[in-house]
Amino acid sequence: MILVILTVVGEGRPSRALSGSPASSRVSAEPASAAGNASALPSTVRLAGPRELLELYGIDESHFANLTDREPWQAGEDEILMKIFYRLPGLRMADLERWAKPLDLEALREAPAPHRGSVYRLVGRATKVEQLQPLPEMAERLGLEHYYRIRIELAEHGVASVFSRKVPKAWQRMQALNEPAAALGFFLKVGGEPGEPIPIFAAPRIHWYPDSALGGLGMDVGLLDEVQQEEIAGGPNDAAAGIDIRKLRLTGNDREAFYQMLAAVGRTRPKQLLQEAQRRVAASGRDSYSVVPLFNQPQSQIGRLVVLSGNARRVIPIPIDDKDITARLGISRYYEIYLFTEDSQDNPLVFCVRELPPGMPIGAGPQYGEEVTIAGFFFKTWAYRRSSQDGTDAVQWQLAPLLIGREAVWIPRQANRTSPVYGAIGSGLFVLVLTGLGLAVWLYGRSDRKARKFTIERQLVPEGGIALDQLALDADGKPDFRGLAEADDGENPRNIGKIGPGAGE
C-alpha cells in the first residue's frame, strides 16, 4: 500500500491573525466563526450572571416582556432569539458552565418571568430536529443561513424545546432520531404546545454523546464537526493542487475539540484504551492496525480508536498556560510523541498523550529513540513546517496524522548482559562503521547539494525544538491556541511529494 501526499512544498509567509482575533495569551472558548458574529468578551471581564451579560449586549427586560407564556412560539418573538444568536459565538464556555443551574421544570412552569435569561443544564435524549430559516435581512446580518429547533426528552421525565445555531451533522442524516444529548441553554419562555407546557431555551450548540468509545467517555462528539479537515487523496494519481494547508494547521475551531478529547482520554483507567483497541483489532481478524488509512483517508478516520507500536524519536512535555482550559478541564500539560512505525515509511505520526510511564526519558535528536505502544483517537491531519530538503528558503510542510491518547506503554531497552571484552570490541566496530558512514554521507553531500537529507530527525520533525501549538501559530508562548484563525496567503501547495514504491524515481 502506498502512502501519498505526505510532504508539501510552497511559499511561506508569516501567519497573520484574522481581524478581531484575540491578541492576548488566550482565546475565548467559543471563537467567532462567521462574518457578522459578535466578538468575544475580553478574558479579564468577569460577569456576575447571564442577565448582566445580556444587558451588556442590549438585551434587557423590555425584550423579555415581548415573550408570551403558554402560547406557541410566535414570529414576533424571533427578535430576541436572533439577538441572542448574534451574541452566542462570543460567549465563553467557562461562563456558561459557571452559570448553569440544574433544571427545575415546576419552578419554570409556575413562574417563568423571574427565570428568563437564566442558564440551565439540559440532559436527555434528542428525538426531533427541525431546520428553520431566519428572515433574509437577519440571515445576512448574522451570517446564519439556518438554525434548528430540537425536542429533548429530559432525564427529569419532561420535555424541553431548544433553539440552537448548531446540531451534529450526523443527526441530519438520521431517519429516526433518538440520541443522548445535552445543552446549556438560556431560558426564554414556557410554550403552549399541545399536551403540557414546554420550556423553550436558546443554546449555542447541542452536545452529543453517542454510543461510541468517545461518547462513552463523556466527550461531545459533535465538536469534531468543527475540526478543520482536508481531503488528502484517494490514490497516487490524484491532483493535489487544491489542498488548503491552512485547514491542516491548528485553527481556533479545533481548540475546544482538541482539549475536550484530551480530557476524555484522561477519564479512562490505565491501559483501558490499549485493551479496547487490541480487542477491536483482534475481532477484525487482523494482527495490527495499518497506518495507511490515517495518512490517505483521514476523513473516514475521525474519532477512530487505534493502537500503534514503533519508535518514538521525539518526546517532549507541553505545559498548558491557558487558564480557561486548566480551570474547566483540569489539564495542566500533555506530551507530544513523534512515532515512526514499520509501515509509516519513515513518516511520523504525532500522538498527544496525558501521561508517560515512570522512568521513560524525554528528548529528541538523532541519538534519541524509545520503543512504545500507544492507543489513541485520530483527531486530524496536521501540517507543520520542517527543515528544507533542498537547501532553499522555500517553506516545506510535513503532513502527519494527529492522534490523542491517555498514555504511552514504554518498552525499555534491555541492559547489555554481554562480556565487557565483547562489549568493547562491539563498541569499537560500531564506531568504525559510523565513521565510515559519516564520511560517505559527507562526500555524497558535497557532490549533490540537492540530495535528500540523511537523518530522519532533521527531515521529519519540527525545527527549533518547539511545541506543536507554537508551530501552528508561528508565535511565542506556550500552547494556548491564541491567534489560531489564520489569514495566510500563498500557503497552498505548489508541489506534493508521494511516498511509496517508485516515488522519487
- 472-489 per-position pLDDT tens digit: 433 333 333 333 333 233
Label residue 413 by pLDDT band (50, 70, 90).
confident
Give the pLDDT of residue 229. 74
Label residue 17 by pLDDT band (50, 70, 90).
very low
- 256-304 per-position pLDDT tens digit: 999 999 999 999 999 999 999 999 999 999 989 999 999 999 989 999 9
Contact 270, 408 (CB under 8 A): no
E strands, 342-394, are 349-355, 363-364, 370-386
Q: Of the ranges 131-135, 186-190, 248-252, which is most confident?
A: 186-190
- 115-155 per-position pLDDT tens digit: 999 999 999 999 999 999 988 888 887 778 899 999 999 99
Whether the predicted pLDDT of 27 surpasses 60: no
Specify the DSSP element, H or E, that contains 201: strand 198-203
**Least confident among 7-21, 368-382, 458-472:** 7-21
Mean pLDDT of the chain: 77
AA letter at 186: F
% the chain with pLDDT above 90: 52
Higher pLDDT, 499 or 244: 244
DSSP state of 396: E
CA distance 212 to 261: 13
HEC letters along 456-468: HHHHHCCHHHCCH
CA distance 235 to 4: 7
Give the pLDDT of residue 122. 97
Higher pLDDT, 124 or 196: 124
Q: Which of 477, 261, 231, 222 is nearest to 352 (CA)?
A: 261
User: Measured between alpha carbons, how far is residue 296 from residues 232, 239, 380 in Å?
Assistant: 6, 13, 12
Give the pLDDT of residue 142. 77
Label residue 5 by pLDDT band (50, 70, 90).
very low
Q: Which of 258, 264, 168 is nearest to 219 (CA)?
A: 264
C-alpha cell at 283: 475481532
Mean pLDDT, to the nearest integer, of 158-167?
A: 94
Please tell me the pTM assigned to this model.
0.76
Q: Which of 161, 15, 115, 99 is nearest to 469 (CA)?
A: 15
Exposed / middle / buried, residue 145 (Cβ in 10 Å: 0-12, 13-18, 19+): exposed
Higher pLDDT, 442 or 54: 54
C-alpha cell at 173: 442524516
Label residue 235 by pLDDT band (50, 70, 90).
very low
- List of residues 6+ apart from 174 with CB closer than 8 A: none
Q: Of the ranges 139-148, 229-238, 364-373, 418-427, which is most confident?
A: 364-373
AA letter at 335: Y
- 374-410 per-position pLDDT tens digit: 999 999 998 887 766 666 666 778 889 999 999 999 9
Phi (first) and psi of residue 85, to 5 degrees = -55, -40
Contact 128, 20 (CB under 8 A): no
Whether the predicted pLDDT of 460 surpasses 70: no
Exposed / middle / buried, residue 344 (Cβ in 10 Å: 0-12, 13-18, 19+): buried
Whether the predicted pLDDT of 454 surpasses 50: no
- 62-111 per-position pLDDT tens digit: 999 999 999 999 988 999 999 999 888 888 888 999 999 999 999 999 99
C-alpha cell at 294: 490515517
**Can you spell out the DSSP letters for 122-189?**
EEEEEEEEEEE---HHHHHHHT-S-EEEEEEEETTS-EEEEEES---GGGGG-SS--EEEEEEEEEEE
Give the pLDDT of residue 438. 61
Label residue 503 by pLDDT band (50, 70, 90).
very low
Give the pLDDT of residue 187. 97
